[in-house]
Amino acid sequence: MTEAVSRPTLEAVAARAGVSRATVSRVVNGGDGVRESLAERVRQAVADLGYVPNQAARSLVTRRHDAVAVVIAEPESRVFADPFFALQLRGISKELTAHDNQLVLLLTEGRDDHARVARYLAGGHVDGALVFSLHLDDPLPGLIRAAAVPTVFGGRPHGSAPGGAGVAYVDCDNRGGARTAVRHLVDLGRRRVAHITGALDQTSAVDRLDGYRDVMADVLGGADPGLVVQSDFTPAGGERAMRELLDRCPDVDGVFAANDLTALGALRVLRESGRRVPQDVAVIGFDDMVPVAEQTDPPLTTVRQDIEEMGRLMARLLLSGLPGGRGRGRGTARTPAPDARAAPDGGVILPTTLVRRATA
Amino acid sequence: MTEAVSRPTLEAVAARAGVSRATVSRVVNGGDGVRESLAERVRQAVADLGYVPNQAARSLVTRRHDAVAVVIAEPESRVFADPFFALQLRGISKELTAHDNQLVLLLTEGRDDHARVARYLAGGHVDGALVFSLHLDDPLPGLIRAAAVPTVFGGRPHGSAPGGAGVAYVDCDNRGGARTAVRHLVDLGRRRVAHITGALDQTSAVDRLDGYRDVMADVLGGADPGLVVQSDFTPAGGERAMRELLDRCPDVDGVFAANDLTALGALRVLRESGRRVPQDVAVIGFDDMVPVAEQTDPPLTTVRQDIEEMGRLMARLLLSGLPGGRGRGRGTARTPAPDARAAPDGGVILPTTLVRRATA
DNA sequence: ATGAAAGCGCTAACAA
DNA sequence: TTGTTAGCGCTTTCAT
């Protein structure tokens, strides 16, 4: 661990190039309206000295930080249990990097942390925030609104309503994906199609349940309520739910699980019970967590969402909404991704696709 | 996405409290040497106005940022495939938060990114860096050394040698953990104990292999070289290796896999081959990635490392080495964790423990 | 097209 | 103990 040395300033570069600080500043920041010969001299001096602008000094006057906070609430939760989190972060990081913004990571675990994060965001240390807050009772969204920081949410936040206030968010098409999955089971000839829900205090779980109901109502004239079992996105929860299901409806012939982890648990119980998958019971998951979905026995058919793209999109959306026309470099807010869709409540929805493996 | 409003300054607080800026500054920063009555007035004014210090202005004069970069090289790799990454980040975040430092996340994916990160670190935007760089040919460590930024590495970096230069790093006891695992297999009466290595361009894989060899030399008078198969920390790699192993040494009765993912693959091949685990072949993994280890069939016996603690420790080590006596709040550099050990080359090694489940 | 000069909001001598 | 003052390194009018 070495000590950092003092670095050259604008002043030094100016002296070396034989110009004023103002000129150097112009060159360093895009440099319009500077004679090319001078600009070249400046660039040379910058290179010679290894000059790097002092971001603190710059922020002090511009009030911009070129930094964005990524807030992840309750890392215990699902977000942390799977590569979801990492992939999303990767997408965000790529986009921010492409626009020379830094990523400040804020992980929260409880009450005190909420206050801390709120204070930080309100403190104007970053230009905006990307927020993942899954649970219904999370106070964070409210605090963030109060902090008046430009924000994009990851996943449809609670309280967003069609035609509503227009909170910015990015989500995958949970409802549509669920519909595709269930319709696929129906197309396979299954008539007793069950759904093991996710944690219903998360909008993704609610939306997937809605998608399931859509198809059941449409195609089968409404679902037997006994075919819906509440669970929590975990393998253990999936096991429990599947057992209950088998108990209640031994004739079940199709299962749409709220996510791959749940499907994993269900699969295990199905095997224990002597049922063959997919012959006796077809199973579909959600997420396409590849390491899980490919390793189940048999490999899991599931609904894929492009998680990294969601992250990228969140960042792009945030940057494009910030003053200074950032984020216009590649892609714009209007057409964030070739196939993204605008939701009526101001969100952006990414499509899902069914990945057929062996369970359905 | 709302616009941020202009926030109160020290000046405003000073005016309201009827004191000078200097006094407010003193109160805000610990406030020794200020009459209590005045201090109280200041605190009131701060609260009334909702004053939050402008970090940019502060950094400009103090040359401190209270921010630490976390650099993760090649997020494709193992780090991203499992919760490892998330847990470590959590540990880091907790420790940094406890000392009011921010976490700036830098993800890199290739050549250009290296330069970018190097520039950022050299730019003096952060007080230090926590670096994860797994691979032998990674240019990052060199660039970082050149940037002269206080740094702590996650995992023993390449080129660190006993009695060597003293790069700061935190790692788990890979070699000792491997010894424990192999010794356990031997104690179980296994004599044909194989090792499926990890990617040998990572020190963790090398150290685990060394641990395996230690015990084999000690107890069995040296390993049959045929019992060591190179692999890459992935389930597919584990399968491949196990097949090769079965081919070469059908009499193998124990397998120490370099990590849980590898063990997962090995388990699958073992089952296919009709071998019973642990009766015919006992298997031990490494890492204790709980979601994986608990879900294998049968549940995996493995070597546990406290990943979150490693992260916490890295942060603590870095902060305690920084000027300004940060990081002395809870725990110190000398005794970072109750059971951490100093390595001869300047690293800190955390202990591992064997978690017995059903495979050995 | 270029330079001079005035701060951005804060801390840290130094005086009082 | 408190206040005054001089910058930290940069951007940005405003002159030239």
On whether both B133 and B96 belong to a single domain, the answer is yes
CA distance A259 to A269: 16
On whether both A345 and A325 belong to a single domain, the answer is yes
Give the model's pLDDT for residue A77: 55
Give the model's pLDDT for residue B320: 93
On whether both B300 and B323 belong to a single domain, the answer is no
Say if the Cβ atoms of A1 and B75 lie within 8 Å. no
Q: What six digits make up the tokens of A255? A: 């299962």
What average pLDDT does this structure show over B110-123? 87
Q: Is residue B105's beta carbon less than 7 angstroms from any atom in nucleic acid strand D?
A: no
Would you say residue A315 lies in a domain?
Answer: yes
**Summary mean pLDDT of chain B:** 89
- What is the total count of domains within chain B? 3
Q: Which of A21-30, A41-50, A74-83, B124-133 has the lowest mean pLDDT?
A: A74-83
- CATH for A333: 3.40.50.2300
Measured between beta carbons, the chain A residues lying within 8 angstroms of B65 are 56
On whether both A182 and A237 belong to a single domain, the answer is yes
Give the model's pLDDT for residue B306: 93
CA distance B121 to B71: 10
On whether both B139 and B167 belong to a single domain, the answer is yes
Would you say residue B357 lies in a domain?
Answer: no
On whether both A122 and A24 belong to a single domain, the answer is no
Element (H, E) at B221: none
- The residue out of A29, A47, A62 marking a domain boundary is A62
Residue nearest to nucleotide D8 (CA to C1'): B61
On whether both A143 and A156 belong to a single domain, the answer is yes
On whether the CB atoms of residues A46 and A293 are closer than 8 A, the answer is: no
Q: B328 vs B108, which has greater pLDDT?
A: B108
Would you say residue A360 lies in a domain?
Answer: no
Would you say residue B359 lies in a domain?
Answer: no
On whether both B151 and B161 belong to a single domain, the answer is yes
How crowded is residue A140: how many other Cβ atoms within 10 Å of its Cβ? 23
Q: Is the Cα torsion angle B14, B17, B18, B24 positive or negative in sign?
A: negative
Give the model's pLDDT for residue B325: 56
Would you say residue B111 lies in a domain?
Answer: yes
**Bridge-partner residues for A338, per DSSP?**
none
On whether both A194 and A296 belong to a single domain, the answer is yes
Would you say residue B5 lies in a domain?
Answer: no
Say yes or no to pLDDT of B45 above 90.
yes
Residue nearest to nucleotide C5 (CA to C1'): A22
CA distance B250 to B192: 10
What average pLDDT does this structure show over A147-159? 91
Give the model's pLDDT for residue A164: 62
What average pLDDT does this structure show over A241-247? 98
Say if the Cβ atoms of B168 and A105 lie within 8 Å. no
On whether both A216 and A292 belong to a single domain, the answer is yes
Q: Does A70 touch chain B (CB under 8 A)?
A: yes
Say yes or no to pLDDT of B115 above 70.
yes
Would you say residue A87 lies in a domain?
Answer: yes
CA distance B355 to B360: 10
Closest-CA residue to A170 (of A117, A74, A92): A92
**Which chain B residue's Cα is nearest to A80?**
B86
On whether both B188 and B288 belong to a single domain, the answer is yes
Helix (H, G, I), strand (E, B) or coil at B106: strand
Give me the domain span that covers residue A290. Answer: 174-305
Strands A228-229 and A193-196, how do they pair?
parallel
On whether both B133 and B44 belong to a single domain, the answer is no
Q: What share of chain A is helix, strand, coil (3-state, %, to 5)?
A: 45, 15, 40
CB nearest to B107's CB, from A90, A104, A152: A90
Say yes or no to pLDDT of B337 above 80.
no
What are A198-208's pLDDT values in tens digits? 999 999 999 99
CA distance B19 to B23: 7
**Which chain B residue's Cα is nearest to A234?**
B291
Say if the Cβ atoms of B52 and A119 lie within 8 Å. yes
Quick one: pLDDT band at residue B340, thresholds 50, 70, 90? confident
What average pLDDT does this structure show over A102-130? 91
- The residue out of B44, B62, B80 marking a domain boundary is B62
Helix (H, G, I), strand (E, B) or coil at B337: coil
Question: What is this structure's pTM?
Answer: 0.92
Would you say residue B4 lies in a domain?
Answer: no
Give the model's pLDDT for residue B219: 87
Say if the Cβ atoms of A105 and B107 lie within 8 Å. no
Outline where DSSP puts E strands in chain A.
67-73, 102-108, 128-132, 151-154, 169-172, 193-196, 228-229, 254-257, 282-287, 301-305, 341-342, 347-350, 352-355
Measured between beta carbons, the chain A residues lying within 8 angstroms of B1 are 128, 150-152, 168, 318, 321
Residue nearest to nucleotide C9 (CA to C1'): B57
Q: Does B356 touch chain A (CB under 8 A)?
A: no
CA distance B53 to A59: 14
Closest-CA residue to A266 (of A255, A251, A274): A255
CA distance B241 to B230: 7
Min Cα separation A3/chain B (Å)? 6
Strands A301-305 and A151-154, how do they pair?
unpaired
